[in-house]
Structures are given as structure tokens and as C-alpha cells.
A and B are shown apart, each in its own frame.
Chain A
Amino acid sequence: MKAKVYVNLKSGVLDPQGKAIQHSVELLGFSGISDVRQGKYFEISLDGSLDNQKARESVEKMAREVLSNPIIEDYRVEIEA
């Protein structure tokens, strides 16, 4: 069982790295880009001892308390069997 956690800056929070990446890809000739936001992605392998529901609760807690800073970031959790 695997958990995937996506952490992104909240929409109002400045992302200078995203801006720099956008600028670079535009320099390379990619067009039609209106915005780039950089985030973090975590893959957490679970040993299967928790059922789906419990695993989600546990990973949600982890995402909220450690992997993200709720002042500046949002997170999304996916559980894969």
C-alpha cells in the first residue's frame, strides 16, 4: 500500500521559484503558459497493517502536521492499494 502526498503553496502565496521556472521554459520556446507553481510530492510506503480508512487518517495527519505548513501550503492525499 502506498500513500501519495502533494503539497502546494496556497494560491495567494508568492512562488518565486515557479515564476523563475516559467521564465526559463518560455525562453526555451514553450508558449501558452499562464502560470507555473512548484510543489512537493511525497511517496510513503505503508506496510499494509492499517486498513484504507485508517491509513488515510494517519497520512492526512502526517501531511497536516509535518509535510505541509498550513499557513502557506495546502495538501492532498491519495491512497493506493
Chain B
Amino acid sequence: MKFGVIVFPGSNCDHDAYHVISKHVGQPVDFIWHRDTDLSTYDAVILPGGFSYGDYLRAGALARFSPVMNSVKKFAESGRFVLGICNGFQILCEAGLLPGALIRNRDLHFICEHIHVRVETSDTPFTNELKSGTVLRIPIAHAEGNYICDDNTLAELQRENRIVFRYCEKDGTVTGAANPNGSRDNIAGICNRERNVLGLMPHPERACEDLLGSSDGRDIFRSLAATLAAAV
């Protein structure tokens, strides 16, 4: 089982992701520079948070053209696992690996705080160690996290059980007040139809140690590791 963390110019959560995989998941992990294109030795890749290309044009828009992204597309098509966190989620949407787009937060602010998300399905490689309905306390840190999609896409996401995380109250109730950024249907994370690509705005890699205020994020990485262990 081998993980890769893709590093774009401007990524800044790459070391956090690397740390979590090596220390908490206990598996081998490499940094992959965005100009590299050989992903053949990896089972899962993480597109980390940050400000790839300074968020020029649109968040994630220019990273889509990095050489590694063609390989990430093929990697995903081959059924291997892709996890996009924050800027990684934005890149996956821009690249068309996930539907919809992430636009400026409803209230314009850059929001950096711990919020609650509810696990909406355990039927993904990233949440299979979690019960549906579990509430996780995880930080967000973004200015463009307002998830938007058209009515047909939303209906499809709902019908196919592809909304993986929703912003919620502490007790798990999904309310407008618990929606930090205006995301449609309180969406915090979605997966693709094949369920092997997940994007989410919250930062589970920043919530893997009690010292940092929460260790709820670990279960997402544990789920992925369990999926890979079962597949090997």
C-alpha cells in the first residue's frame, strides 16, 4: 500500500497530509511534484490543500493544467483512489473529475474554524470505517468553499448517494445556520459515480491529533487504509 501527496506550486497542506499518512496510517508515502507523471507505484493519491498557482484565475483552475493531472485522471479511471482536500477538491472540480464548482463564500470572508460535518454514507472507500450519521469535528480554512451545481447534478448526487459530508450542527442536524459558506444542500464533500474519487472542503489531515483540537479526521484516512488493505 503506497500513498502519494501531489505538490503543486502553492500547496501548503502537503506536509500535513504526508505526516498523517506516515505517522497515523503508518504507510509509505511520497511527495509527487506536479511535473511528475508516473503514478504507477501508488494506490492512492492526495491532492492537498493550499493555494495552487496563487488561486490565479479561479481556485484550482491552473493546477488542472499541471502535467501530473493527466496522470491523475488515468489513475482515477483505473479505479485507484484520489482524495482532494480543500484546494484539492477545487482542482478536482475544475478538472472535471467531480461535478460542480466551488465559488466565493456567501459572506465573502475567509473562514478558518472548526465546524461539524455529518457522514452521509459509509458506502465509500473513504468512510467505510464510519457509521452513516456520525458527526465529525474538523476545521475548514477557505474563501472559495461555496459548492454550487445545477439542479440535475444535485438530483443525481442525491439519488446516487454521492453526497458524502454535509455541514451540520453539533448534534448532526443539517441546518442553514450550520452552513458556513452557502454551499448548496450543505454539501461539504462529494464523490464521483465510481466512488473512488472524493473531494471535501474540510481538512481531515488537520484533525488527527487531540493536541490540535480534534482527532476526528483520522477515521477518513483509516477507512482508506482499510480499503487498500482489503484490496491487496
Contact = CB atoms under 8 A, between A and B. Distances in A.
Contact of A71 (B101, B104, B108, B146): B101
Give the dominant DSSP class at B's interface.
loop
Nearest to B100: A71
A67 B57 contact: yes
Interface in A11-41: 13-17, 20
Given A69-B94, A72-B148, A13 B103 contact: yes
Contact of B105 (A15, A16, A66, A72): A16
11 contacts: A14-B103, A14-B146, A15-B104, A17-B108, A20-B108, A67-B57, A69-B58, A69-B61, A69-B101, A71-B100, A72-B148
A16 B100 contact: no
A80 B71 CA distance: 38
Interface in A61-75: 66-67, 69, 71-72
A72 B103 contact: yes
B61 A66 contact: yes
A33 B108 CA distance: 21
B164 to A, nearest CB: 20
Contact of A16 (B58, B101, B106): B106
Given A14-B182, A66-B61, A71 B105 contact: no
Nearest to A70: B101
Nearest to B58: A69
B107 interface: yes
A30 to B, nearest CB: 20
A13 to B, nearest CB: 7
Interface string B129-157: 00000000000000000101110000000
Contacts of A66: 57, 61, 65
Given A69-B58, A72-B101, A16 B148 contact: no
B76 to A, nearest CB: 19
A13 B148 contact: yes
A14 B101 CA distance: 12
Interface-centre pick from B94, B107, B148 (highest chain A CB count, 10 A): B148
Nearest to B99: A71
A67 B62 CA distance: 10
Given A9-B103, A20-B108, 19 more contacts: A13-B103, A13-B148, A14-B103, A14-B148, A15-B104, A16-B104, A16-B106, A16-B107, A66-B57, A66-B61, A69-B58, A69-B61, A69-B101, A71-B93, A71-B101, A71-B150, A72-B101, A72-B103, A72-B148
Contacts of A17: 104, 108
B149 A71 contact: yes
Contacts of B104: 15-17
A13 B102 CA distance: 11
A20 B101 CA distance: 21
A14 B61 contact: no
